């Protein structure tokens, strides 16, 4: 495992941040991969100075080391961002921050960012933005 993954990936896998189901989320998003990995992201939206931001972000993942690690990092990085900033988050910045992933696991890097965008979309649909 140590040869395939960076220390940061292993750390996020062993000690994931923000893992769990959120009660009464403002938005929920889901994303899956052909390999069977599946991520759900829950968001709580706050407002400050007229701008809406991600006050809290949590996840649940059924998947491999890469899927758990990327979801953990995405929730950590997304908290505090405005909705617009969070929507622009992509797998490339997550991959770079994690120190990369094996080629066969690259698809996992998009699960959490895709689920995050879906959660924001779900929220906006509810509040009719």
Residues 16-64: tens digit of each pLDDT: 999 999 999 999 999 998 888 999 999 999 999 999 999 999 999 999 9
Q: In what order do the strands lie in the sheet with 27-32?
A: 27-32, 38-48, 51-62
**Of 65, 98, 108, 116, which is the active-site residue?**
108
Position 128 pLDDT exceeds 80: no
Strand, coil or helix: 5: coil
**Of 4, 14, 35, 92, which is the active-site residue?**
35
Position 2 pLDDT exceeds 60: no
Higher-confidence position of 120 and 107: 120
Band the pLDDT of 106: cuts 50, 70, 90.
confident
> ∠ CA 5-35-20 to the nearest 5 degrees?
70
Strand, coil or helix: 39: strand
108 is catalytic: yes
Task: Judge whether 42 and 50 are in contact, CB under 8 Å.
Answer: no
Q: Domain locations in the chain?
A: 7-127
64 is catalytic: no
Fold of 7-127: Sufe protein. Chain: A (3.90.1010)
Of 8-22, 90-104, 111-125, the poorest mean pLDDT is in 90-104
- Burial of 22 per CB tally in 10 Å (0-12, 13-18, 19+): buried
């Amino acid at each position: 495992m140590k040869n395939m993954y960076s220390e940061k990936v292993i750390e996020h896998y062993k000690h994931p941040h923000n893992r769990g189901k959120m009660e009464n989320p403002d938005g929920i998003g889901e994303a899956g991969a052909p390999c069977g990995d599946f991520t759900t992201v829950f968001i709580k939206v706050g407002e400050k100075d007229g701008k809406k931001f991600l006050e809290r972000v949590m996840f649940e993942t059924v998947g491999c080391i890469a899927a758990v690690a990327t979801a953990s990092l995405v929730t950590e990085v997304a908290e505090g961002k405005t909705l617009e900033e969070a929507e622009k988050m992509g797998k490339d910045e997550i991959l770079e921050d994690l120190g990369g992933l094996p080629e066969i696991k690259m698809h996992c890097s998009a699960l959490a960012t895709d689920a995050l965008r879906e959660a924001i979309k779900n929220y906006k649909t509810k509040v009719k933005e």
